[in-house]
């Protein structure tokens, strides 16, 4: 049942991205173009997502198990550290340069075209490179006593 619900949630998310136009890189870049012809529509999509998220996380925080019986594993980290800031900057740069973030890029694959495919492959390559470098860095770190 969890797999079915994951499929349903993914479909709702993907359909929402397509209907709102967030799979169109021009719309995303228009939102980021504050000095030019700014398009605020992405802000409304983000606001809607935040509003839904506030209620969903408020509900989830009060539970020990999900509605399907799985153990709740909500994020606990609250620190703003170097890794978070650098990762956010890299994410933002990729988003601004490509006009896609991960969800819309994957939804755009369904529509075809070479741009979302190239972006998705580059995104996956970046994730793999990070994993390799992170494991290498961890293997060289001094052992804490």
Q: What is the pLDDT of residues 67-121, one digit of tens each?
A: 888 898 888 888 999 989 998 999 888 888 888 888 888 888 887 889 999 999 9
**For residue 22, is it within any domain?**
yes
Reduced to 3 states, what is the DSSP secondary structure of residue 71?
Answer: strand
**For residue 115, is it within any domain?**
yes
Q: Residue 27 has which token pair?
A: 């719309």
**Taking a C-beta distance cutoff of 8 angstroms, is the pair 69, 1 a contact?**
no
**For residue 31, is it within any domain?**
yes
Structural domain span for residue 6? 2-140
pLDDT band at 145 (very low <50, low <70, confident <90, very high): low
Q: How far apart are CA 70 and CA 5, in angstroms?
A: 12
Scored b (16 or more CB within 10 A) or e, 46-76 reads eeeeeeeeeeeeeeeeeeeeeeeeeeeeeee
Radius of gyration of the chain (CA): 18
Q: Count up the domains in the chain and report the number.
A: 1
**For residue 145, is it within any domain?**
no
**For residue 34, is it within any domain?**
yes
pTM exceeds 0.75 for this model = no
Helices (H), the chain: 2-20, 25-32, 41-61, 82-98, 102-109, 114-140
**For residue 13, is it within any domain?**
yes
């Amino acid at each position: 049942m969890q797999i079915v619900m994951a499929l349903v949630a993914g479909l709702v998310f993907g359909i929402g991205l397509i209907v709102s136009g967030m799979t169109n890189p021009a719309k995303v870049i228009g939102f980021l173009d504050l000095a030019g012809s700014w398009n605020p529509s992405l802000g409304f999509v983000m606001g809607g997502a935040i509003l839904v998220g506030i209620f969903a996380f408020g509900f989830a925080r009060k539970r020990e198990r999900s509605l399907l019986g799985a153990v709740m594993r909500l994020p606990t980290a609250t620190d703003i550290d170097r890794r978070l800031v650098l990762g956010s900057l890299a994410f933002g740069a990729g988003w601004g340069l490509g006009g896609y973030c991960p969800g819309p890029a994957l939804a755009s694959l369904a529509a075809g075209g070479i741009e979302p495919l190239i972006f998705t492959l580059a995104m996956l390559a970046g994730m793999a490179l990070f994993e390799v470098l992170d494991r290498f860095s961890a293997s060289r770190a001094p052992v804490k006593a």
